[in-house]
Structure 1
């Protein structure tokens, strides 16, 4: 219903003209204007308008001061406040002064027209303007939720609690506000934030077991005392009315938010209980958030100190190849400033670059890095979600020296043992040539020759294992496992035919290549297929399969041989382990499958066995597919 009388107060003549004459008058309202807060105050008292639309920032008396003065004069008029400020304190003061809507500049014409209509409609629905007070409390409560949410966004505990107490005092017009937290060790409440409290009482502590505030902690319920005479908070600290609300998180009370009226007989209403309880609830969450943040920050600092003192170089590289951080050991290794610089611009080391490219491709990689100064590092690179790649490097220079000494020892022993073995084998052959051996002597000579061959095979396997463990033969290229399997199957075909076995190779047309060393991978297939033929009876079947599955290439060697007992399958890849049922019937060193597993692991792959005694075994190896060369910045 148009025709209501609106008072527009603004020190800017253009805004008065625009809002009053251009916008609201055209909507059918009666308009009166005032150029400052004092003039607006006087015209409001004289004319009793239906609505006041006022700017806040004006010289002399501000808009809020004008509305507060009208309230003190017991002249309550609904108001709309225009302001450039958006703080909680301004919002709370505005609500206490009777503001029913709140526009932050800039705003649109539609915002103003709709706001005016909404406030006047609320006034008409409420009947008498005095009833606007009830609506203001509802508006206060709704705005309180917004204030509480803003409070929970803070992490500085001092700021949180100070804002909560100030908001509580502003909203209820109480004389004093306190926020006490519970000391879990002493069972006492101590002052954490106050408003208008005398300095001498700002550090007081209250026992939970025999204080009014402690009653709130014990019961978990608000406490309102008003109009019952003076109440003792502590010796020499008496109040005429009080309101306490618990700070609760779940079933736990972590503190108390309180209001005191010490000097005037101000009444605290039951409506204030809802307001303060809402503030206390948000304050409790804010306290817990701040404590969690503090604990998290302490843990972050602890981990940062650990990171700084780790003697091994550690780097974190993002997805674009930039170093985001590194510990002092990494700075020393790479020299100078390393943050925010491409890793590959800091080091031209081919070993590290190769491992990094493998990590980009497979998410993790490891290998040795040889530096120009002769030092050796074992580098591990792993991908961490939302962080990038973590590079850790351990100085293994002393271990490499030990390893070289071991290599020299193995080579020396190999030479020293091979020479007499060669002589023994040669003398056995000569003995057969220089004289006739009877059958028994021939059997003894064959046993000597076989023993020499077994020792020679053992030495060869030990040397080969040493080369693999030492990282020899690490050169990788893009190859197809089916091509290697086909070569080995062709080599083994004659042995299989001698035992009337079927040796079958099945290859998936969609097979993908892998990144590997062809010599080492040929050793894998040779060992697995040789074992399958050896341990499969005459007339049996050995099947070799190669296929791709997702981003993996899988090869299986399946036989119909004697099988492996379930209890021994977990040990089958251990060094020098031989299955108990076959160790006496078949020659072997117990190193073959260990060599196979070592080679597969060095290719970032996996190998396992499935076997049923009497039915056969199936060895499965899995390697990452390698189709395209990925680029790393």
Structure 2
């Protein structure tokens, strides 16, 4: 693309007009030279009586000059193109000028590109994160110094297959199926015990890859400290809460209690129950996190589980008056943990009942959609504003804290659902509009389904 392609149309038209005008002038100069040579040759030929011969000699002389110019142009292009072009006239002068200008512009662009590449490489060399370029044949092409510290790469590894150097089975699986891990992969370092590396691979070009890795040991330690703290504090709170709840319940059953104290004890009992539910949810989350690597290979009978969820929903629905419907279309079962799935699905059903105004409609479904099967809970409740949906599965995130206090929610229900589904290689989809109800879908992949015999 020429430099002029970025200019306005009227300026480009002016440039083209000038170029055509200059080219016409150069051609006119060659034509005038040819006419002058022919006139001189013709006059000499007329003087000595050999007009045709001297006209032919004049033409030969003109073409000899052109061949000489062509020779000089060829010599300059092949040997001295970095130097200014030779002084020529006519069309050859225009050709040399355009070639010289194009070469000079190309050298300028190359110098700028080399400078840009040098700056980019200098920046990458200074990064604490490892950056590795892998070519289309999966060989190491370039890496920065941090890659040697984090991944153990050496100078002699250049042009070697990356999978012969980084041989962790999880990494090999990730490398061959990058799209299955959009957030990358955390690996334990082979260079230093207790060190963890986050690896992220991005495809570009035909089959080339960019690998970025960074140390997440500190983050892992903080996360483990958080898990330990939540686990320990939850266990420590459980005993005193049980004692308090027992005494409060005993005192509340006393018929001789003055009426002015009864309301206070009812509130204490309600808050103790809520605190106990929070502790139980925290313990469940902690257990899910600690057992994330355990296999879940039970065959969960979905027909039985769906009927159990429907019966539980009918019992919980007594004070709300909703119409609860069961839609059982799929015959597939799930390979997983029946206790965890019942807890996750129960959370979704309970939320739908709690956050739907009285006399609403709740539909619990188990359906097939192509190669996947979907557990869904649809309600006609208050709905959720779009900006809240991406954060609903965060711990303790509340769309409306006042409403959550009224319903007794702990803020951990959807976080538990997210963990359970992740451990079953499933995911949660949420569709909702304010005042139009919500639909929560748990989507299970084909390899997690057990077709009917």
TM range (shorter): 0.5 to 0.7
Closer/same/farther in 2, CA of residues 352 and 576 from structure 1, 3 Å limit: same
Residue in structure 2 matched with residue 277 of structure 1 by the alignment = 94
Residue in structure 2 matched with residue 495 of structure 1 by the alignment = 312
Any idea what the Cα deviations from partners look like across 1:87-139, whole Å, max 9, x if unmatched?
Answer: xxxxxxxxxxxxxxxxxxxxxxxxxxxxxxxxxxxxxxxx9686577788999
Q: Distance in 2 between matches of 1:456 and 1:442?
A: 21
Residue in structure 2 matched with residue 54 of structure 1 by the alignment = none
Instruction: Indicate the SS of the match to 1:393.
Output: strand
Alignment of 1:503-522 (within 5 A): 503-505=325-327
Matched, 1:163 2:77: yes
Q: Distance in 1 between matches of 2:125 and 2:66?
A: 55
Any idea what the Cα deviations from partners look like across 1:147-200, whole Å, max 9, x if unmatched?
Answer: 99xx9xxxxxxx9xx628958xxxxxxxxxxxxxxxxxxxxxxxx624xxxxxx
Give, in angstroms, the shift of residue 502 of structure 1.
3.3
Query: Please, what TM-score do these two structures have when normalized by structure 1?
Result: 0.49
Q: Which has the larger radius of gyration?
A: 1
Any idea what the Cα deviations from partners look like across 1:521-567, whole Å, max 9, x if unmatched?
Answer: 76554433331233334461324365557x98876542222323567
Give, in angstroms, the shift of residue 493 of structure 1.
0.4
Residue in structure 1 matched with residue 198 of structure 2 by the alignment = 378
Residue in structure 2 matched with residue 395 of structure 1 by the alignment = 215
Q: Distance in 2 between matches of 1:353 and 1:282?
A: 51
Closer/same/farther in 2, CA of residues 130 and 544 from structure 1, 3 Å limit: farther
Closer/same/farther in 2, CA of residues 554 and 325 from structure 1, 3 Å limit: farther
Any idea what the Cα deviations from partners look like across 1:414-461, whole Å, max 9, x if unmatched?
Answer: 22211110111233444467x545695776555433322211222233
C-alpha contact 2:384 2:438 (8 A) present in aligned 1: yes
Closer/same/farther in 2, CA of residues 507 and 475 from structure 1, 3 Å limit: farther
C-alpha contact 1:573 1:594 (8 A) present in aligned 2: yes
Closer/same/farther in 2, CA of residues 552 and 289 from structure 1, 3 Å limit: farther
Q: Distance in 2 between matches of 1:587 and 1:388?
A: 53
Residue in structure 1 matched with residue 147 of structure 2 by the alignment = 330
Q: Distance in 2 between matches of 1:620 and 1:378?
A: 30
C-alpha contact 2:302 2:334 (8 A) present in aligned 1: no
Residue in structure 1 matched with residue 168 of structure 2 by the alignment = 349
More strand by share: 1
Residue in structure 2 matched with residue 369 of structure 1 by the alignment = 187
Any idea what the Cα deviations from partners look like across 1:256-301, whole Å, max 9, x if unmatched?
Answer: x5627xxxxxxx4xxx2x2222332233233222222222222222
What is the aligned counterpart of 1:299 among 109, 113, 116?
A: 116
Closer/same/farther in 2, CA of residues 166 and 408 from structure 1, 3 Å limit: closer
What is the aligned counterpart of 1:193 among 83, 86, 100?
A: 83
C-alpha contact 1:383 1:390 (8 A) present in aligned 2: yes
Q: Distance in 1 between matches of 2:340 and 2:59?
A: 91
C-alpha contact 2:429 2:441 (8 A) present in aligned 1: yes
C-alpha contact 2:301 2:334 (8 A) present in aligned 1: no
Residue in structure 1 matched with residue 438 of structure 2 by the alignment = 617
Q: Distance in 1 between matches of 2:364 and 2:376?
A: 8
Matched, 1:287 2:104: yes
Give ranges in structure 2 of 5+ residues lacking alignment. Answer: 1-54, 449-453
Q: Higher relative CO (CA 8 A, sep ≥ 6), structure 1 or 2?
A: 2
Give, in angstroms, the shift of residue 366 of structure 1.
1.9
What is the aligned counterpart of 1:587 among 401, 408, 414?
A: 408
Aligned length, in residue pairs = 382
Give, in angstroms, the shift of residue 308 of structure 1.
3.1
Give the root-mean-square deviation of aligned CA atoms: 4.9
Matched, 1:417 2:237: yes
Q: Distance in 2 between matches of 1:543 and 1:316?
A: 49
Residue in structure 2 matched with residue 259 of structure 1 by the alignment = 87
Closer/same/farther in 2, CA of residues 475 and 348 from structure 1, 3 Å limit: farther
Give ranges in structure 1 of 5+ residues lacking alignment. Answer: 1-126, 152-158, 168-191, 195-256, 261-267, 628-633
Closer/same/farther in 2, CA of residues 387 and 466 from structure 1, 3 Å limit: farther
Give, in angstroms, the shift of residue 494 of structure 1.
0.9
Instruction: Indicate the SS of the match to 1:374.
Output: coil
Closer/same/farther in 2, CA of residues 574 and 413 from structure 1, 3 Å limit: closer
C-alpha contact 2:374 2:442 (8 A) present in aligned 1: yes
Closer/same/farther in 2, CA of residues 485 and 321 from structure 1, 3 Å limit: farther
Any idea what the Cα deviations from partners look like across 1:474-494, whole Å, max 9, x if unmatched?
Answer: 5578999xx797665333201
C-alpha contact 1:331 1:338 (8 A) present in aligned 2: no
C-alpha contact 2:136 2:209 (8 A) present in aligned 1: yes
Closer/same/farther in 2, CA of residues 512 and 493 from structure 1, 3 Å limit: closer
Closer/same/farther in 2, CA of residues 297 and 467 from structure 1, 3 Å limit: farther
What is the aligned counterpart of 2:292 among 442, 458, 473?
A: 473
C-alpha contact 1:369 1:378 (8 A) present in aligned 2: yes
Instruction: Indicate the SS of the match to 1:561.
Output: coil
C-alpha contact 2:129 2:146 (8 A) present in aligned 1: yes
Give, in angstroms, the shift of residue 624 of structure 1.
7.5
Closer/same/farther in 2, CA of residues 566 and 340 from structure 1, 3 Å limit: closer
